[in-house]
Amino acid sequence: MDSVGSHLERAKILEIRDRLAAEGYRVQEEAPATGPLRYDLLAEKGGRRIAYEVKYVDHLRDSKDEVLRIRRAALEQGLDDLKLIIVRKPRQVSMHIDNLENALYEHAVRARLDWAGNLPAGTQVEDVHDVAVNSITINAKGTRVQGDGMITVEIGPGKEPDSFESFPLEYSIVLGHDMRIASVEKFQVDTSSFVQ
Amino acid sequence: MYQAMILEGVPRSLQSRGRKGRKAYMRWIAAAYAGKCGGYKFESLIPLYARIVIFESLHVTGGGPDVDNIAKPILDALKGEAYQDDRTFARLYIERRDLEDVETGMEALQMDESVLADALALASDSRAKSFFYVEIGADESAEFIFHRRS
């Protein structure tokens, strides 16, 4: 058994246990099933008994007979259901768009008055950073990119020198085939935390 | 009373192009039913339900066909094999579960052992990108999810 799979199984068991307990079930871990086999969880509520068996997908191949034996035990014990939960590692999707931070920065500089909100006049955009891409939609017209990030500004005259503030940013833009911004659907900076 | 089977592959859509492929697909479904369910034929007058659950790796299949287009080719394939008249179907339940999701659930007690064994074999086979569960039964109970044991 690999440790990542075992860890994922254990984490899922605890998650289900806590969820069931919050729903008012009495939950027993490692409840006896048959012989040495045990249900990962046995939940009881209102006379209804449901067993849970959690398997990491790569462990499932060697555990099929065990699952079937546990199923037979659940039937013999008159349980109401046996839920088999197959867990996997979360898929990691790598997304990178060339020049995205720079394109957002240039838009922020060009359109400062549109998003600056309550920031004093003269505030300068310093940087757009920690940009995350939450979704990409590609069609013939271009690439719509939605996500969030941070924008750092230097607060305008009247504040101390080197007075930088960072604010969260949400954006939705359409990139043309030259990967430049063709249109901006949303460029929203939350400056509510700024106090003059 | 119900019959159930697991089939490997992506279910074909009603909208799929190619009559030849559609016929081959329906013959395959009918043959699978004959093999896995012994060709059991439901009485013509009792109301029936059908449940279809598609397990698939959505990032590989791209989501496969729309669920609302999946049922008809399957039920058409089983006409004459499992039942006589479409109008006996009182209920139809279709769902899709992503095999690549961090969590996929199966109601193991409600599935026959042989069907569950097929499902486990495919769920643990990294080459199997899609399989689907088909269940047809007498619509005599509100509890028909993977059917109740008797």
Residue range B62-111, pLDDT digits in tens: 666 778 888 889 999 999 999 998 888 888 989 888 877 767 788 887 78
- Chain B hits for A72, CB-CB cut-off 8 Å, are 113
Chain B's closest residue to A85, CA to CA, is B105
Q: Is B143 on the interface with A (CB under 8 A)?
A: no
Interchain proximity B113–A72, CB inside 8 Å: yes
CB contact under 8 A, B116 and A68: yes
Q: What is the pLDDT of residue B150?
A: 40
> How would DSSP label each residue in chain A?
--HHHHHHHHHHHHHHHHHHHHTT-EEEEEEEEETTEEEEEEEEETTEEEEEEEEEHHHHHHHHHHHHHHHHHHHHTT-SEEEEEEE-PPP------TTHHHHHHHHHHHTHHHH-TTPPTT-EEEEEEEEEEEEEEEETTEEEEEEEEEEEEE--BTBPTT-EEEEEEEEEEEE-TTSSEEEEEEEEE--TT---
Return the pLDDT at B105: 82
**B120/A61 Cα distance (integer angstroms):** 8
Could you report the per-residue pLDDT of B6-50, keeping only the tens digit for each? 999 888 877 665 565 788 889 999 999 999 999 899 988 888 999
Inter-chain CB proximity B103 and A74 less than 8 Å = no
Q: What is the pLDDT of residue B149?
A: 44
Query: Over the stretch A172-189, which tens digit does the pLDDT of each residue have?
Result: 999 888 888 899 999 998
Q: Write out chain A residues lying below 8 Å of B124, CB-based.
A: 57-58, 60-61, 64
d(CA A183, CA B82): 56
Q: Strands (DSSP E) along B18-141, which ranges? A: 48-56, 89-98, 103-107, 130-138
- Give the residue-averaged pLDDT of A52-81: 91
- Could you tell me if A4 lies within 8 Å of chain B, comparing CB atoms? no
Express each pLDDT in A73-102 by its tens digit: 999 999 999 999 988 877 666 677 878 888
Instruction: Judge: B107–A81 Cβ closer than 8 Å, yes or no.
Output: yes
Partner residue facing B123 (CB), from A12, A83, A86:
A86
Total count of residues recorded for chain A: 196
A27 in Cβ contact with A59 (< 8 Å): no
Q: Best residue in B100, B107, B120, B143 to probe A by mutation, most A CBs within 10 Å?
A: B120
Q: How many CA atoms lie within 13 A of A97 on its CB side?
A: 27
Contacts of B121 in chain A (CB under 8 A): 64
Instruction: Report CB contact under 8 Å: A88, B102.
Output: yes
ipTM: 0.74
Going by C-alpha positions, the residue among B83, B90, B79 that lies closest to residue B47 is B90
CA angle A84, B78, B141 (to 5 degrees): 55
- Give the tokens for residue B13: 């859509």
Q: Do A90 and B102 touch (CB under 8 A)?
A: yes
The pLDDT tens digits for A27-37 are: 999 998 888 88
Note whether A64 contacts B117, CB cutoff 8 Å. Answer: yes
pTM for the full model? 0.63
DSSP secondary structure code for residue B101 in this structure: S
Share of chain B above pLDDT 90, in %: 29
Interface test with B, best of A39, A50, A86, A87 (most B CBs within 10 A): A86
Share the mean pLDDT of chain B: 82
Is A69 in CB contact (< 8 Å) with chain B?
no
